Structure 1
Amino acid sequence: MNLTEHYNKLYKESIGEISSDNYEIDPMLHAENDQRFGMSLLIKPPMAVKNEIQKFLEELKSIEPDQYYYPNSDIHITVISVVSCYDGLKLSNLNVPEYIELIEKSLENAQHMTINCKGITASPSCIMIQGFIEGNGLNEIRDNLRRNFKDSNLEQSIDERYLIQTAHATVFRFSEQLKEKEEFLALVDKYRNHDFGTFKVNTMELSYNDWYHREGLVTKLHEFKMANTDVKTQRA
C-alpha cells in the first residue's frame, strides 16, 4: 500500500463530507453504560511527539472546545486489534498468558521500526495523525500475528472490522455539531503536512481496553521490549 496516496484519498473524501455536514457524531462518547471492551497490541508514541500533537489539539480546542480530544495518556497507534471491542467482553474470560506467548512468537524476528508522525488525515468521525513506517517491519509483524492467531484456538477478531495497514493515531472525535466549521477546517488544513516528530519503536503494549483507550479503563497486560532484532518482554 502507498500510504501517502491512501492518506490523501481519505483526507480529500472525509473533508468533503465534513464540509457538507455529513460527519458522524459518536453517540457513545459520553455514555455511562458503555461496556465495549477488547484487546489490542499498541505502540505508544514518546512524550515529545504527543506534546507536539497537543499543540495542534489545543488550537482546535480554542475553536471547538466541546468536541472530544484525546489526552496524551490515550494516544496510541494500533499494531493490531486482537479482539475488537464488543459489549460484555470480560478480562477474566481471556487466557492472557497464552496471548502473550503467541505474540512473543510473532515478534521473534521483528526488525527495528521508525515511525514518522507527519501530517493529518481524517474520516467522517475523527481526525488522525498520519504515521509513516520506515521499512516493512510493521507489516511483517501484522502478517505473523494474523497467521499465528489463525492457527490458534484463542478468541480473536483480527481484520473483521477492517484490514489495518496504516500507522495512524486517532486524536479527535466529533461529539456534537461544529459551531465554527470554516475556522475548524482552515486549522485542520494548516496542519495537513505538519511534522509531529519521528521516533524509534522500542516497545509494544498489550492492553485490555475500552473503545477509546481511556487511561482509567485500560488494563496494561504486558509490555514487549524491542532491542536490535531481539524481542525481550517485561511483565506488566
Structure 2
Amino acid sequence: MHLQEHYDRLYQDSIRRIQSGAYQIDELIDAASDNRFGITLLLRPDDVVKGEIQKLLYKLKLIEPNQYFYRNSDLHVTVMSIISCYDGFDLGQIRVEDYVKTVRKSIHGLGPFEVEFRGLTASPSCLMVQGFLADNTLSRLRDNLRSNFRDSGLEQSIDKRYSIQTAHSTVVRFKEELRNRNEFLGMIAKHREHSFGTSIVNTIELVYNDWYQRKEFVKTLCKFEL
C-alpha cells in the first residue's frame, strides 16, 4: 500500500473512533510502577521541524491541556524497535557491543536520507506527524536490520508486534477523556496537510528506552553516522 494511502486510512478510521468516544486512554503514562523498557534504533527530526511541531502542540494544549504532549527532547521516528519494551527488561541481560556491531553492519554502504514531515494522522490512542521518504534508504536499512538480527542469534523482537513501514513521529497521547473533543479534532483537521519541514538524516541512535522515549529514562548506547 502507498504510504499516503496508509496514513489516510489510519486517519479516517481513528478519527471516526475518537469522534464516537471509542479512543484509548493510556493509564500508564504517569504510573511510577511502569517498568517497560527496550532497545530502539531511531532518528530525530531537526530543530526546525521540532519547532514547527511545538507550534501545533501549543495550540492543542490550549484546547486539551491535560493530554500527554511530547517534548522536543523526546520527539523521534522509530527506525526499528530491536527489543520492544517489556516489563523488567534491563541492559544487564544483553551484550550491548553485539547490538552495536549488528547495526553497524546494517548501515554499511548507506548514506544520509531525507524525511519530509507533512500532515497529521492518528491512531485510537495518539496523534502522529506523518513522515515521507524521498528514496528507499530507510527501507533498505530496515531490511538489512531484519536480516542481520535474524541471523545474529541475539535477543530481538523485530516485527513481532507489526512490520514497521512508516516514518511517523508520535506527538500526543491520550491520558484522560477529551473534554473539548470537537474543537480538538477541528484543530487536527486544520493541520491535516500542514508542512512541518524536511530533515536530512545523517545520524541515527541506538538507545535503551522506556515506552515513551522520555529523556530522563533514555540511555544512548551508540550514535551512527550515515
Tell me the TM-score range normalised by the shorter chain: over 0.9
Alpha-carbon contact 2:42-2:78 (below 8 Å) kept: yes
**Residue in structure 2 matched with residue 39 of structure 1 by the alignment:** 39
**Residue in structure 1 matched with residue 205 of structure 2 by the alignment:** 205
Letter of the 1:10 counterpart: L
Alpha-carbon contact 2:111-2:202 (below 8 Å) kept: no
Aligned length: 226
| Residues 79-101 of structure 1: CA deviation (Å, up to 9, x unaligned) | 00000000010111121111000
**Residue in structure 2 matched with residue 86 of structure 1 by the alignment:** 86
| Mapping of residues 167-182 of structure 1, within 5 Å | 167-182=167-182
| Residues 28-80 of structure 1: CA deviation (Å, up to 9, x unaligned) | 01100110000000001111100100000000000000000000000000000
Q: Is 2:44 aligned against 1:30? A: no
**Residue in structure 2 matched with residue 166 of structure 1 by the alignment:** 166
Q: Percent identity?
A: 52
**Residue in structure 2 matched with residue 97 of structure 1 by the alignment:** 97
Q: Which runs of 5+ in 1 are unaligned?
A: 227-236
Q: Which runs of 5+ in 2 are unaligned?
A: none
Question: d(CA) in 2 for partners of 1:150 and 1:23?
Answer: 35
Letter of the 1:157 counterpart: S
Question: d(CA) in 1 for partners of 2:126 and 2:94?
Answer: 30
Question: d(CA) in 2 for partners of 1:133 and 1:194?
Answer: 16
Letter of the 1:155 counterpart: E
Q: 1:153 Cα deviation (Å)?
A: 1.4
**Residue in structure 2 matched with residue 12 of structure 1 by the alignment:** 12
Letter of the 1:141 counterpart: L
SS at match of 1:172: strand
Alpha-carbon contact 2:63-2:184 (below 8 Å) kept: yes
Question: d(CA) in 1 for partners of 2:77 and 2:177?
Answer: 27
Question: d(CA) in 2 for partners of 1:103 and 1:126?
Answer: 29
Question: d(CA) in 1 for partners of 2:183 and 2:154?
Answer: 48
Question: d(CA) in 1 for partners of 2:64 and 2:163?
Answer: 32
- Give RMSD over aligned pairs: 0.6
| Mapping of residues 113-132 of structure 1, within 5 Å | 113-132=113-132
**Residue in structure 2 matched with residue 59 of structure 1 by the alignment:** 59
**Residue in structure 2 matched with residue 214 of structure 1 by the alignment:** 214
Q: What is the TM-score of this pair, normalised by structure 2?
A: 0.99
Q: What is the TM-score of this pair, normalised by structure 1?
A: 0.95
Structure 1 runs of 4+ aligned residues shifted over 6 Å read none
Q: Is 2:40 aligned against 1:48? A: no
Letter of the 1:148 counterpart: N
Letter of the 2:76 counterpart: H
Question: d(CA) in 2 for partners of 1:111 and 1:162?
Answer: 26
Q: 1:111 Cα deviation (Å)?
A: 3.3
Question: d(CA) in 2 for partners of 1:72 and 1:46?
Answer: 10
Question: d(CA) in 2 for partners of 1:148 and 1:59?
Answer: 43
| Mapping of residues 150-165 of structure 1, within 5 Å | 150-165=150-165
